[in-house]
Amino acid sequence: MPEPAMDPKVDHAFLDNLITQYRHKPGALLAILESAQDHHPRKYLTKETLEYIGKEIGVSRSQIYNVVTFYSFFNLTPQGDHSITICRGTACHARGSKKILDFVKNMLQLQETNSGYADKLCLTTPDNRFTVRTVACFGQCALAPVVSVDERIYGYMTCRKIREIIEKLDREPVEPVPLFI
Amino acid sequence: MGGHRLPACDPQTKKLDNNMSKEFTIRINGRDIPAQEGETVLDVARRSDIYIPALCHLKGLSPVGACRLCLVEVKGVSRLVPSCTTYVHEGLDVITDSEGIQKCRMVILQLLFSERNHTCSVCVSNGHCELQAIAENLGMNYVRYPYRFPALKVDASHEKYAIDHNRCVLCTRCVRVCKEVEGAHTLEIIGRGVHSLVLADLDGLWGESQTCTGCGKCVQVCPTGALFEKGKAVGQMKKRNEFLPYLMSMRSLNR
Ligand code: SF4
Ligand code: SF4
Ligand code: FES
Ligand code: FES
């Protein structure tokens, strides 16, 4: 069931706790952002969260946005229940990862829009079931082409194999994700 | 890669570690020139009327070495180094205009032009643009790379100023003056690589920024026509950045 497009509120208690924990430590901003993203049921950073963090630790909004748009690790849009990451590195490209990417996009009916500023592709289905992303190299080139599904690495990927994996995931019951934290 | 190491400097002040200001001579293009500890090669060259093109450097702002137009050769160092971030030390021997350097600068310059939409004839800064001036100085008469022609927006939401991303060279002068001098830190580079843009706050419209004080410092330090005052027609946007060295020296007196 598609969720209404609404920004969940900021979990102030969680963020306050996080900020006290990291305050005055070097690299605090990155650590705080990482935990805040992980805490969100949709694994992303809302604008409200970014503003709140900035205000509390005394970093300008522009600086925070600079950081979160630089690292492709940070998500600024809600992520799907399952994430499919397709390697677009040289070795995987040479062994046909483009075909797999096109196949998956086609299968999930994802249109390539100019999504945000990240260099990398990151597309989520409207029903929030799947997020498809690309990376530059997993460091597993011997297994090329490599695809990771929900943090599990699969080597020697083919269109047929990825279709089976996606179909199996799609048959699983949908666990409700809380709209508000 | 042998060669000698450049001396360590304090990353905050970009000054050499000891505070005694030593004087010595360095060599630029075979000429002996007196120099002081804490100066950069670019400082010394400018003082001695030796032309080195520079785009991201501006006196009064922290050096970042972003544009790479000011590359020079240093004897004993096998790669070219940016003169705006290379601090002088005794015995330094620099070449600023070898054929290799000229070639390298030309490549960088042409890449800058091919990256965005620099149509000088309709630009507010035509005739007063630092990028244009460097191209003239280096004798650029063609661009050998295909233009990217990115479709970029103009944000004219600010009451007094506008930013045209088509003409931005990502030198970050505006970012630095806003952060270091005005203290507002409204503008930042958002995104990465070719997708980088100078944007206000959390990717909002400049006019809706809650941090911008409207001081206009960013507009005055911008080397191109990317940042401009509204109401200026083609060729009318002359930048006034002389305020910066004055402001900085007054601040250091009051310290
Ligand atoms: S007008 Fe002043 S405060 Fe506003 S963005 Fe420019 S430098 Fe920053
Ligand atoms: S807007 Fe102007 S000052 Fe700012 S990065 Fe672009 S070219 Fe440089
Ligand atoms: S290129 Fe795909 S794992 Fe290295
Ligand atoms: S002026 Fe030195 S790198 Fe830009």
| Per-residue pLDDT tens over the stretch B125-184 | 999 999 999 999 999 999 999 999 999 999 999 999 999 999 999 999 999 999 999 999
The Å distance, Cα A6 to ligand 4 centre, comes to 44
Smallest Cβ–Cβ distance between B202 and the set A47, A70, A119 belongs to A47
- The residue in chain A having the minimum alpha-carbon distance to the alpha carbon of residue B188 is A62
A163 in helix, strand or coil?
Answer: helix
Measured from the alpha carbon of residue B155, the closest ligand is 2
Position B84 scores a pLDDT of: 97
On whether both A116 and A149 belong to a single domain, the answer is yes
Q: Which residue in the block uniquely carries the two structure tokens 């006034």?
A: B240
What are the distances in angstroms from CA B88 to CA A108, B38, B40, B78, B102?
59, 7, 6, 17, 22
Q: Which residues of B touch A119 (CB under 8 A)?
A: 192-193, 195
Please give the residue range of the domain that contains residue A132: 82-171
- Asked whether residue A141 falls in the same domain as residue A93, the answer is yes
Ligand 3 proximal residues by C-beta, below 6 Å: A 87, 89-92, 137-141, 144, 146
Please spell the DSSP secondary structure of A18-64, one letter per residue. Answer: HHHHHTTSTTHHHHHHHHHHHHSTTS---HHHHHHHHHHHT--HHHH
- DSSP characters over chain B: --SPPPPPB-TTT--BSS-S--EEEEEETTEEEEEETT-BHHHHHHHTT-----SS--TTS-----S-TTEEEETT-SS-EETTS-B--TT-EEES--HHHHHHHHHHHHHHHHHTT--GGG-TTTTS-HHHHHHHHTT-----SPP------EE--SSSEEEEGGG-----HHHHIIIIIS----EEEESSGGG-EEEETTTB-GGG-SS-----HHHHH-SSSSEEETT--TT------THHHHHHHHHHHH-
CATH architecture of B20-97: Roll (3.10)
Interface test with B, best of A33, A51, A62, A71 (most B CBs within 10 A): A62
**Domain match, A101 and A157 both:** yes
- For residue B26, the cross-strand partners are B33
- How many Å lie between the centroid of ligand 3 and the Cα of residue A86? 9
- Any idea where the domains of chain B sit in the sequence? 20-97, 103-240
Number of domains in chain A: 2
Handedness of CA B211, A66, B80, B115 (dihedral sign): negative
> In terms of pTM, does the model score above 0.90?
no
Is 1.20.120.1200 the CATH classification of the domain at B103-240? no
What is the residue with the minimal CA distance to atom 1 of ligand 4? B54
Are A62 and A93 contained in the same domain? Answer: no
pLDDT of residue A115: 45
Q: Please list every residue in chain A whose beta carbon sits closer than 8 Å to the beta carbon of residue B211.
A: 60-62
**Smallest Cα–Cα separation from B172: which of B223, B247, B215?**
B223
- CA B135 to the chain's CA centroid: 15
- Looking at the structure, tell me whether residues A115 and A160 fall in a common domain: yes
pLDDT digits (tens, 9 = 90+) for B234-254: 999 999 988 998 888 888 887
Q: Which segment of A66-80, B12-26, B188-202 scores lowest on mean pLDDT?
A: B12-26
Ligand 2 neighbours, Cβ below 6 Å, are: B 163, 168-174, 198, 222-224, 226-227
Among B171, B179, B197, B218, residue to substitute to test ligand 2 (most atoms within 8 Å of Cβ) = B171
A178: in domain:
no
> Could you read off the pLDDT of B34-54 as tens digits, one per residue?
999 999 999 999 999 999 999
Instruction: Answer whether B50 contacts ligand 4 (Cβ < 6 A).
Output: no
Residue A7 lies in a domain: no
